[in-house]
Amino acid sequence: KAGVTQTPRYLIKTRGQQVTLSCSPISGHRSVSWYQQTPGQGLQFLFEYFSETQRNKGNFPGRFSGRQFSNSRSEMNVSTLELGDSALYLCASSWRERTNYEQYFGPGTRLTVT
Amino acid sequence: ELKVEQNPLFLSMQEGKNYTIYCNYSTTSDRLYWYRQDPGKSLESLFVLLSNGAVKQEGRLMASLDTKARLSTLHITAAVHDLSATYFCAVGKSNFGNEKLTFGTGTRLTIIP
């Protein structure tokens, strides 16, 4: 079974631009969560999508947004990029059932903002 | 607000030695996870601990959970170089069916031959 895939794997953007990252979950998984990893702040939860609805949100500004499509694929968007947005962005998918919440992580998208 | 603390942050140990990484969390948890991350790579799931007293072992790694003490440990037995990586614990909290992971700071483990 294919794992979680993320595109692109690497991205360089300039301050003020916007960026869209994509995540395709494991087949059958309906929940997608996004995390930001930086050396200073570590791994932080951004948001979770399930059934095309945002179900949970972390403490990030409104510049960070996302969506989920009917096939469970998800995108996250960051507008008006800042230098501090440089990070590894990880998405994770899960079944999200009562007894199985385990999340499987994709390879990540490394975003560099210059 | 849930806080997850790991210690030590850095650990350098010789091959063949045993050591333990500690993960403390501040509120009740639903699930406790351990992940491994190699440099430049994603997170690899190692263990999911669901209940008090849970113990899981895989090779030279053993994880345990004490929900009363809000403590999980990852024990490394007879370390080998291949175990060099950063290890994260994460607490999963459910809220109306949603789960959010709160990660510890990570422990960078270096095994010296």
| Matching residue, tokens 């809000």 | B70
pLDDT, tens only, B14-60 = 999 999 999 999 988 778 999 999 998 889 999 999 888 889 999 99
Q: Using an 8 Å CB-CB cutoff, list chain B residues near A108.
A: 42
Q: Do A55 and B97 touch (CB under 8 A)?
A: yes
pLDDT, tens only, B80-104 = 999 999 999 999 887 666 678 999 9
Rounded CA separation A107/B40 (Å):
9
Nearest CA in chain B to A103: B45
> Out of B42, B48, B106, whose CB is closest to A106?
B42
Low-confidence ranges of chain A (pLDDT < 70): 1, 96-100
Which residue type does B85 have?
A
Rounded CA separation A66/A77 (Å):
6
Q: Using an 8 Å CB-CB cutoff, list chain B residues near A44.
A: 103
Cβ–Cβ under 8 Å, residues A103 and A93: yes
pLDDT, tens only, A20-29 = 999 999 998 9
